[in-house]
Amino acid sequence: MPTKSVVVGSAVGLHARPASIISEAAGDLDSEVLIGLPGEEGVDAGSSLLIMTLGAGHGDTVEVSGENQADVEAIAALVAQDLDAD
């Protein structure tokens, strides 16, 4: 299963707005993508609520994994951006 470690770029971490943007993008994919803290089981990237339960803050490293490398890369790229910036 492809996995990519990525540093959370949003200033507020994976909270409401960034989690919503990520989950919406993941919901549009053809495969399931998981986001988790290193060493822990990942949560469904298609659920903003589950993403927020990770408690990942700005600068924390998370692991994005899934069956499709391109989908993993797409979600990892979103996690790395500051999605709360205007």
| Segment 22-58, tens digit of pLDDT | 999 999 999 999 999 999 999 999 999 999 999 999 9
Please name the residues in contact with 31: beta carbons below 8 A apart, sequence gap of 6 or more: 66, 67, 68, 71
User: Looking at the whole model, is its pTM more than 0.85?
Assistant: yes
For residues 81 and 1, give the distance between their C-alpha atoms in angstroms, rounded to a whole number.
Answer: 23
Is 3-80 CATH 3.30.1340.10?
yes
**pLDDT over 70 at 86, yes or no:** no
Q: How many CA atoms lie within 13 A of 33 on its CB side?
A: 32
Domain ranges in the chain?
A: 3-80
